Amino acid sequence: MTDNTTPQRTELSALGEFGLIDHLTSGIKIFHKSTLKGVGDDAAVIDNGDSVTLVSKDLLVEGVHFDLTYTPLRHLGYKAAVVNISDIVAMNGTATQMLVGISVSNRFSVEALDELYAGIRLACEKYKVDLVGGDTTSSVSGLFLSITVIGKVKKEDVVYRSTARENDLICVSGDLGGAYIGLLLLEREKQVYKANPQMQPELEGNDYVLERQLKPEARVDVLVKLREAGVKPTAMIDISDGLASEVLHLAKDSGLGCRIFEDKIPVDVVTADIAAEFQIDPTTAAMNGGEDYELLFTVDVNDFEKVKSIKDIHIIGHMLEKAEGEYLISNGGSMYPIEAQGFNHMRED
């Protein structure tokens, strides 16, 4: 007999990006005791005795992660390297080596790829990372970048997402929302150009948010400031998908609830002014915009005095028991459930 049953088909959008990751990685078996942490953090953690090796990988796809209409190839190379280095920093580690894989179509010249690699090399020079290998292949369309970064940290100093504790303070470095507002500006000028190629882009005076989008930095300096103050984060993650998404990662992985306060979320005045032009609430940009690559971390409540005196670090909330849930306290005192509304690769628009 023939089985005419139609095979089940589940759309990727039904799970979303993080649901798909959970689905594909559930039940993975670890065969080596040296694998201290596999899937589920900013980097994998491999035991080397007194120290651990950190390994992180990102895939960047043209038309999904970047638009070459307004992204210079040198900036793209720099950003691609930095966002991977940021994952190592988020584990309280130091990046040491990098491998770069590219897939490229014949629309790109040797000179174009020279520009791309000039940006990668610039990032490696700044962060003292050795470019040690990779792979190159052809593509039928567009540009694909696959970057792996290797790092190191003493075993007792590694920081995970899952180790926050009840009553810990929630802290963030720098300011948030700028990268998203920079992206909106670039997209706006792209649409103007498509309508009239003779029009010049109006970007003058917006250098700060444009740099936040096109040339982010890994916050190595924050780790230095914390060490100098004698503070070790209890949990940490970098902000790639927006504050809301990342604070939910910390809460979920640590089995806790949390409160963050709108009036404590740092937003640069330039970001706020341009957000107003787009009729966007700056808090929305900070919570859901993403690509700021600042560090979100928790510290022991007893470190309050130490942390509050560190420049460019802001205490924005605290962790609670899981039953308390995850909420944003608005400027008016209202409580709103925190929802991850940042970019989701598998979501249907």
Model confidence pLDDT, tens digit, residues 195-207: 887 777 778 889 9
- Count how many Cα atoms sit within 13 Å of the Cα of residue 340 in the half-sphere of its side chain: 19
The CA distance from 273 to 240, in Å, is 22
Contact between 269 and 335 under an 8 Å Cβ cutoff? The reply is no
Of residues 129 and 5, more confidence is placed in 129
Q: Which token pair is 45? A: 């953690």
User: Which stretch of DSSP H or E encloses residue 234?
Assistant: none
Give pLDDT, residue 3. 60
Alpha-carbon Rg for the chain in angstroms: 21
Angle among Cα 236, 157, 311 to the nearest 5 degrees reads 55
Q: If you average pLDDT over every residue of the chain, what do you get?
A: 90
Contacts of 96 (CB under 8 A, 6+ apart): 129, 130, 150, 151, 152
Residue 23, number of CB atoms within 10 A of its CB = 12
Task: State percent of the chain over pLDDT 90.
Answer: 77
Query: For residue 50, what pLDDT band results from cuts at 50, 70 and 90?
Result: confident
Percent of the chain with pLDDT over 70: 88
User: What pLDDT shows up at residue 49?
Assistant: 85
- Binned at pLDDT 50, 70 and 90, residue 346 comes out as very low
**How would residue 5 be classed by pLDDT, with cut points 50, 70 and 90?**
low
What pLDDT score was predicted for residue 168? 98
**194 pLDDT band (50/70/90 cuts)?**
confident
Q: Where exactly does CATH 3.90.650.10 map onto the chain?
A: 169-337
- For residue 56, give the nearest of 172, 158, 142 by alpha carbon: 158
Query: For the stretch 149-179, what's the b/e string if a residue is b when 16 or more beta carbons lie within 10 angstroms of its beta carbon?
Result: bbbbbeeeebbbbebbeeebbbbbbbbbbbb
Residue 343 has pLDDT above 60, yes or no: no
Angle at 312 between CA 278 and CA 310, to 5 degrees: 160
Fold of the domain built from segment(s) 12-157: 60s Ribosomal Protein L30; Chain: A; (3.30.1330)
Structure tokens given for 276: 């107003």
Q: For 74-109, how does the pLDDT look when each residue is reduced to its tens digit (9 = 90+)?
A: 999 999 999 999 999 999 999 999 999 999 999 999
In this predicted structure, the answer to whether residue 26 has a pLDDT above a threshold of 70 is no
Q: Give yes or no for residue 28 having a pLDDT over 90.
A: no
245-276 confidence digits (pLDDT tens): 999 999 999 999 999 999 999 999 999 999 99
Q: Which residues contact 263 (CB under 8 A, 6 or more apart)?
A: 331
Domain(s) labelled CATH 3.30.1330.10 in the chain stretch across 12-157
Whole-angstrom distance, CA of residue 286 vs CA of residue 265: 8
Mean pLDDT across the stretch 299-312? 97
Quick check: helix, strand or coil at residue 177?
A: coil
Band of residue 341 on the pLDDT scale cut at 50, 70, 90? confident
Can you tell me which residue has the tokens 């100098």?
228
Write the single-letter amino acid at 69.
T
Collapse the DSSP code of 233 into the 3-class scheme (helix H, G, I; strand E, B; otherwise coil) and give the result. Answer: coil
SS3 100: strand
Q: Does the pLDDT value for residue 345 go beyond 50?
A: no
Domain spanning 169-337: CATH 3.90.650.10: yes
